[in-house]
Amino acid sequence: MSDFITVDDALAELLARIPDTAVERIHLGLGAERRLAESVEAPWNSPRFDNSAMDGFALRWADLKSVPTTLEITGISAAGSPSSEVVTEGQAFRISTGAAVPSGADTVVPRELCDADTLEVTVKQRPKRGEGANIRRTGTYLKAGEAALSPGTRLGGAEIGLLASFGKPVVAVHARPRVAIISTGDELVELGEEPTSGQIVNSNAYMLEALVEANGGIPQVFPIVADRRKDTVATFVRAIASCDMVLSSGGVSVGDHDHVRSVVDELTGGMTFWKVKMKPGKPLAFGVAHLDTHAVPIIGLPGNPASSFVGFHLFVRPALEVAQGASPTDAPLPRIEASLAGPVRGSRGRRAYLAGRAIPTGHGITFEPRRNQSSGNPALFADANALGIVEEGREMLKEGAQIPIHLLQ
Ligand code: AMP
Ligand code: MG
């Protein structure tokens, strides 16, 4: 077990150990934001037939040796209504965008380059592309059988549109991971109970439930666990048995009442790591429990809501992506450069993550850090849309300095 490791190493260790969820076949219309669990080939050529890229006239290039030239209009090919007639010398067909190119024609001249009445068309100018202009040839985009989408691809509107264009009603995707959410702490009361002295509301359960839901998981919230070892073990065992991933908050440090670390260690046969060089969120336990049928990753987040929030975005969010089929190299949050709108402080020996807002400026992005970065502040990340990153060892950064950030939405 590595003891105190960097965020990048921790993330690599963690993502390498996240198993894919089961494959399920669902209706294409329910596929948004899921990840493909199959490779998909084009079932037919795309386009399926030679068709026109413009509204205009389909004709023979050989008839345009000198322009202007006048041709007889002998047919119409409209989208959805192809013509079976042939275009011969001196003839042209009216054609609309997407309509099949009639046989005999080898070029489409856009209407803008012609004068036409119902019987005749005068082509004033030849299309610059020459013979074959404005015709989308069969199979230009994809040949029948050609690979179109690979496993792990996230299904957004464009991908779903492509699958629908293939006439594919059902897709194989990875199941949404069932994620157990366990809150530990003697001081916690449920929402709806009035906290008495020394008590706080179990806000992490709601925060994590919302974050899991927003990132493709199915949250399963467990009742609050008191700081007792046997209760902690019992709840983790139940969570492992019923879920694909287990998240907990609190109890992961070295205090007398902190049992999560030792329980995760026991149930996983040895944690992969439990301390990460980051601020906030240093104590963060990770291990994998191996059942006969499957393996269940356990991520023990710190109890402090700000630490839990940062830990979720850095580790749990990418883990949910990998569980749903993303490659571990694609899963970490991308970094982009931003210019600081105010001074910030780093942390000695740890990478610091700062709450703030990223604002597009027209020539880049400005990062406005929250003035008070205290991780005890429950409002720290409310309405924040970015995490600023100050590398380990950078004490102070001035306004205007460039820093990497992660966007949170
Ligand atoms: P712990 O990591 O258990 O030492 O908890 C650190 C601090 O985080 C505690 O003192 C609480 O103030 C807070 N905390 C722990 N669990 C929760 C929770 N579920 N919801 C909100 N705050 C919590
Ligand atoms: Mg605690």
Q: What is the whole-number distance in angstroms between the Cα of residue 186 and the centre of ligand 2?
A: 7
Q: Is the CB of 2 under 6 A from ligand 1?
A: no
Taking the CA of 308 as reference, the closest ligand is 1
- Joined together, the tokens standing for residue 205 give 């359960």
- In order of their start, the domains of the chain are 7-22+175-323 (3.40.980.10), 24-46+141-174 (3.90.105.10), 51-136 (2.170.190.11), 335-407 (2.40.340.10)
> How many beta carbons lie within 10 A of that of residue 188, not counting itself?
23
Q: Is the CB of 172 under 6 A from ligand 1?
A: no
Residues 6+ apart with CB under 8 A from 268: 287, 288, 289, 290, 298
Residues 6+ apart with CB under 8 A from 66: none
| Residue with CA closest to ligand 1 atom 16 | 303
Tell me which DSSP letter residue 280 carries.
S
Question: Model-level pTM greater than 0.85?
Answer: yes
Q: What is the whole-number distance in angstroms between the Cα of residue 257 and the centre of ligand 2?
A: 7
Q: What is the whole-number distance in angstroms between the Cα of residue 187 and the centre of ligand 2?
A: 8
Kindly state the helix (H) or strand (E) to which residue 203 belongs, with its residue range: helix 203-214
Tens of pLDDT, residue by residue, the chain (409 residues): 456 899 999 999 999 999 999 999 999 999 999 999 999 999 999 999 999 999 999 999 999 999 999 999 999 999 999 999 999 999 999 999 999 999 999 999 999 999 999 999 999 999 999 999 999 999 999 999 999 999 999 999 999 999 999 999 999 999 999 999 999 999 999 999 999 999 999 999 999 999 999 999 999 999 999 999 999 999 999 999 999 999 999 999 999 999 999 999 999 999 999 999 999 999 999 999 999 989 999 999 999 999 999 999 999 999 999 999 999 999 999 999 999 999 999 999 999 999 999 999 999 999 999 999 998 899 999 999 999 999 998 889 999 999 999 999 8
Q: Is the CB of 203 under 6 A from ligand 1?
A: yes
Taking the CA of 189 as reference, the closest ligand is 1
Taking the CA of 202 as reference, the closest ligand is 1
Q: Is the CB of 46 under 6 A from ligand 1?
A: no
| Residue with CA closest to ligand 1 atom 3 | 250
Q: What is the whole-number distance in angstroms between the Cα of residue 183 and the centre of ligand 1?
A: 9
Q: Which of 199, 200, 253 to probe ligand 1 with, by most ligand atoms within 8 A of CB?
A: 200
Residues 6+ apart with CB under 8 A from 275: 3, 4, 5, 282, 283, 284
Contact 249, 183 (CB under 8 A): yes
Taking the CA of 257 as reference, the closest ligand is 2
Q: What is the whole-number distance in angstroms between the Cα of residue 237 and the centre of ligand 1?
A: 22
- Can you tell me which atom of ligand 1 is nearest the CA of 187? 11
